[in-house]
Chain A
């Protein structure tokens, strides 16, 4: 068995000291001399053409230093379907103009002096309505993104359904869910001649640098993006418009500008989990064998595309891959509406798709008289992957999951998750009888698969510095998940030194090399692999330069906590400081495009919930929760468990209480506050157990696989299935609020009478 110095140990988070003492700096904490405050004027209409904007009164207000409107903004795009400012407003809250003034109150006052003439246009706020032929058009190209659905096929569902003894079909819906990161997004911009520095809430400084360069038509090398501590984002802070507006204001004012969104703005103009409607049709044999799966998802991307094309793909992941089946199809309809923009949010579309799939799996199990656990044990995809022939050429890296079969997974611990999770919750044992006659208890489960694969190209730099310290430099951002801690663990392990000895510099487009977004649960895999390779190279270089100093061959030397020593004669040694003094600084850089040509790299898991439903009030309490995950080798157990607990907590909100509500009459977001978009509090958290399958992935760094997002996928089906088990009522629309539960109890009782 491999023994590790630091991998697998719960090393303390790197950022604990600064975050516990108030020293940690977030974007809103950035203060610059002469800094102005910016505010954004937002559209009151869900869809309107902006005919004219009169800013004279605002500009003449003493203390107002800069104004920008769509008519005078630079013409670059911040995204393919989004200029810096546009003459068409596409949702209530869309950016229309912006001002910078000496203080925030003045900026606010200036906004009220801006006169905008709008021509209101027809609008649509519901995705299912939006793809109907006579729907109001949000864009010249139509509401359906690309004009057709994303269709992914393996085999033939017609053949699969022909083989089935029984066919089941159900439709499920999920609402828009705000990410509601506690830190509202902020940006600070400062120009020095032709050079721009931007501090912003971000999950990728290099991606922002490129996007700002394109938007502002400023050479990439003239832009520096510096990531600060992130008050989390869960994926939702991947937009560039705020940074671009701030930069334009700062340029015009000739002074630094800061814009901080209010909480209300963050809810409306941030990014959220896409609302979906999903129909799943499954064919099964009477013995429970799955013969066909066909899922169709209609997804509301809102006013802008953002990462919608990736999210619609992920919503089909469960239907295409979770059950062993030769005949599957997924049709994803990504649809514009005149509502706030969806975006990346923890596990993208996977939770929505899995909610439908894993709820239907329970319906089928019951109809066939098979235990839901047995149904899954019988049908879950195995290590060998899906049946069928490989189509993707073998020389292509499988970074986007192939639809075809015939490609094995690098590792697959799903069965272990099902087995250990079910044991932990005493699956098969009825719940204890609750104390009161109105209370009913039940258990439910859901399993899941998540790509969270290799990620993009990443560069890591490792340095022996002139004072003998060891430093890892990467453009990666720690958005709260802990890569600031895990990356030095990887580097230290590979080098052979203690965790604390590797210093880190993260998230600065000027001083750190390019890393992909902290997104898609890929950071550990991509930047971790680059870090490991850079550490390997640094170790080799150090030993190589030390060999002549110690008058021996490199093969006789090893790295220790203090420096380099002779393996047989440890007294012959040299410290890192002495090495640096003798040969100067040593720097290496490793660029990798991670992935595998031979395997599909996926994470797996199974969640189990025990709930108590009050049939008088409709209130659902989650009593016990078991989260079993295959994320490969766990590099830092404490951080990993924390990720799972946090992901489950967030998605208990998605399942039971959170939803963004848009008034269909006027497009106004009705609940843009923490009071009304109800997130779980400390009193809502159930007793929870986190289990990790004993899997070491052969491809991932030190055997690790994706972990950040998977915890959010299994929650809704596990809880909804437990509610069904408790009260015999199947609720197909999230969130499972007390009023909805009560109404469904009434309605379904009525049906059965």
Chain B
């Protein structure tokens, strides 16, 4: 039986009828066509599907869409300003070349957002701990850490 859910996604209110078994990742990708959220494993191991749910990073492949009823969800598509200005984390990944194939990137950025919102001045070890649930097979991670450090500095100097 489909259920009605209403939630805020990237600032816009969305109401849809969804099957209770529909995963949040599939809801975002298939129903809302927000394909910036990637699915790499279905088992919470790779982190590519990470989104922000009420300010916390969650792996959307293991959250049901109905669990997000009433919630505030942000995906990578919702991070830049309306005028296209990149978020400092996006800017960090740009400046430091924190990606190759880009498939892990949405999850990496959303996990970084969670990390920096809770710990604005992370040490390198804290960054690595904070991103340890996100796999990248291309870059060797080094530039991703640099990207988060860049973002932390920028966000702190801006506030």
Contact indicator A683/B37 (Cβ below 8 Å): no
Give how many A residues have a beta carbon under 8 Å from the other chain's beta carbons: 54
B80 within 8 A of A: yes
Contact indicator B42/A263 (Cβ below 8 Å): yes
New A-B pairs, 12, CB < 8 Å, besides A12-B97, A674-B135, A683-B132: A21-B86, A21-B90, A22-B77, A105-B21, A180-B137, A231-B101, A232-B138, A263-B40, A480-B102, A646-B139, A682-B131, A685-B142
B145 within 8 A of A: yes
How many angstroms between the C-alpha atoms of A181 and B76 in the bound complex? 21
- When each residue 679-699 of chain A gets 1 if its CB lies under 8 Å from chain B and 0 otherwise, what string results? 111110100100000000000
How many angstroms between the C-alpha atoms of A31 and B31 in the bound complex? 11
- When each residue 108-138 of chain B gets 1 if its CB lies under 8 Å from chain A and 0 otherwise, what string results? 0100000000000000000111011011111
- One of B30, B36, B139, B143 near A22 (C-beta < 8 A): B36
Asked whether A673 and B132 contact (CB < 8 A) given A22-B75, A688-B142, the answer is no
User: Which residues does chain A contribute within 8 Å of B94, judged by CB atoms?
Assistant: 12, 16, 20
User: Which residues does chain A contribute within 8 Å of B99, judged by CB atoms?
Assistant: 13, 16, 19-20
Contact indicator B80/A21 (Cβ below 8 Å): yes
Which residues between 183 and 241 of chain A lie within 8 Å of chain B, taking CB atoms?
183-184, 229-232, 234
Asked whether A642 and B139 contact (CB < 8 A) given A12-B97, A675-B43, the answer is yes
B27 within 8 A of A: no
Say what secondary structure dominates the interface of chain B. loop
Most buried by A among B41, B100, B106, B128: B100
B→A interface (CB under 8 Å) = 21, 29-30, 33-43, 45-46, 48, 75-77, 79-80, 86, 90, 93-94, 97, 99-106, 109, 127-129, 131-132, 134-145
User: Which residues does chain B contribute within 8 Å of A481, judged by CB atoms?
Assistant: 100
Contact indicator A679/B97 (Cβ below 8 Å): no
Contact indicator A231/B40 (Cβ below 8 Å): yes
How many angstroms between the C-alpha atoms of A389 and B100 in the bound complex? 43
- One of B45, B109, B143 near A20 (C-beta < 8 A): B109
Contact indicator A21/B41 (Cβ below 8 Å): no
Say what secondary structure dominates the interface of chain A. loop
Which residues between 602 and 648 of chain A lie within 8 Å of chain B, taking CB atoms?
638-639, 642-643, 645-648
How many angstroms between the C-alpha atoms of A411 and B87 in the bound complex? 45
Across the A-B interface, the 8 shortest Cβ-Cβ residue pairs: A22-B36, A480-B101, A231-B103, A19-B102, A649-B140, A645-B140, A674-B45, A232-B101
Contact indicator A184/B40 (Cβ below 8 Å): yes
6 inter-chain pairs at a CB distance below 8 angstroms, sorted by A residue, are: A24-B36, A29-B35, A232-B103, A480-B102, A673-B41, A682-B127
- When each residue 24-44 of chain A gets 1 if its CB lies under 8 Å from chain B and 0 otherwise, what string results? 111011010000000000000
How many angstroms between the C-alpha atoms of A234 and B141 in the bound complex? 17
How many angstroms between the C-alpha atoms of A262 and B129 in the bound complex? 27
Asked whether A20 and B86 contact (CB < 8 A) given A182-B46, A685-B142, the answer is yes
Which single residue of chain B is at the shortest CB-CB distance from A645?
B140
Contact indicator A24/B102 (Cβ below 8 Å): yes
How many angstroms between the C-alpha atoms of A165 and B21 in the bound complex? 71
How many angstroms between the C-alpha atoms of A1 and B135 in the bound complex? 42
Smallest Cβ distance from A381 to chain B, in angstroms? Answer: 29
How many angstroms between the C-alpha atoms of A172 and B103 in the bound complex? 35
A479 within 8 A of B: yes
Smallest Cβ distance from A310 to chain B, in angstroms? Answer: 22
Asked whether A182 and B136 contact (CB < 8 A) given A22-B34, A22-B75, A480-B100, the answer is yes
Contact indicator B137/A650 (Cβ below 8 Å): yes
User: Which residues does chain B contribute within 8 Å of A674, judged by CB atoms?
Assistant: 41, 43, 45-46, 135
User: Which residues does chain A contribute within 8 Å of B109, judged by CB atoms?
Assistant: 20
Smallest Cβ distance from B147 to chain A, in angstroms? Answer: 10
User: Which residues does chain B contribute within 8 Å of A682, judged by CB atoms?
Assistant: 127-128, 131-132, 134, 136, 141, 144-145
User: Which residues does chain A contribute within 8 Å of B76, judged by CB atoms?
Assistant: 20-22
Which single residue of chain B is at the shortest CB-CB distance from A260?
B39
User: Which residues does chain B contribute within 8 Å of A685, judged by CB atoms?
Assistant: 128, 140-142
- When each residue 79-110 of chain A gets 1 if its CB lies under 8 Å from chain B and 0 otherwise, what string results? 00000000000000000000000000100000
Contact indicator A181/B102 (Cβ below 8 Å): no
User: Which residues does chain B contribute within 8 Å of A263, judged by CB atoms?
Assistant: 40-43, 45-46
Which single residue of chain B is at the shortest CB-CB distance from A676?
B45
- One of B33, B39, B141, B143 near A31 (C-beta < 8 A): B33
How many angstroms between the C-alpha atoms of A19 and B45 in the bound complex? 21
Contact indicator B97/A182 (Cβ below 8 Å): no
How many angstroms between the C-alpha atoms of A229 and B101 in the bound complex? 8
Smallest Cβ distance from A176 to chain B, in angstroms? Answer: 16
Smallest Cβ distance from A681 to chain B, in angstroms? Answer: 5
Asked whether A22 and B138 contact (CB < 8 A) given A31-B33, A181-B101, A231-B101, the answer is no
- One of B101, B135, B138 near A681 (C-beta < 8 A): B135
How many angstroms between the C-alpha atoms of A234 and B77 in the bound complex? 27
Contact indicator A649/B35 (Cβ below 8 Å): no
A482 within 8 A of B: yes
How many angstroms between the C-alpha atoms of A182 and B30 in the bound complex? 19
